[in-house]
Amino acid sequence: MRDGAINFEAKLVRFSEHWSPRVIAEMNDYQFKLAKFQGEFVWHSHAETDEVFIVLSGAMALEFRDGTVPLAAGEMYVVPKGVEHRPVAPQECCVLLVEPRGVVNTGDAGGAYTARNDVWV
């Protein structure tokens, strides 16, 4: 029997922690992760990979050293590899992340916001 579709809402209700991505699917060596953002994350970068943010509900911004990109539901952004960024969200924002398997949420920065990797929901 083949698996059914992956429903974002059905997955999102299964966790509440902010800044703690949950894997929902893999495509080749890439992972699709759901995350809930609220507040200000840490400045960080990923030296080896671009990173995709797709906003499913709510609104957020990606702060860069040279400006800020607002993102709302139905919008996406590709953060180029090596570029320092900081996600921020005044209210809770649900996001679909796409990145290679093994990417740590805080990149080069580490610290208290570093989430356990490869946690599925």
Residues 20 and 35 sit within 8 Å (Cβ to Cβ)? yes
Residue in the structure block whose two tokens are 């590709």: 78
The first and second tokens of residue 94, run together, are 């649900």
| Gap between the Cα atoms of 54 and 108, Å rounded | 22
**Is position 75 an interface residue for its own copies (rule: CB under 8 A)?**
yes
Of the candidates 23, 42, 56, 109, which one interacts with its own copies according to CB under 8 A? Answer: 56
| Gap between the Cα atoms of 61 and 38, Å rounded | 11
**Is position 74 an interface residue for its own copies (rule: CB under 8 A)?**
yes
Of the candidates 26, 39, 91, 101, which one interacts with its own copies according to CB under 8 A? Answer: 26
Which residue ranges make up the site for its own copies (CB under 8 A)?
1-9, 24-28, 30, 32, 49-52, 54, 56, 64, 66-67, 69-72, 74-78, 81, 96, 98-100
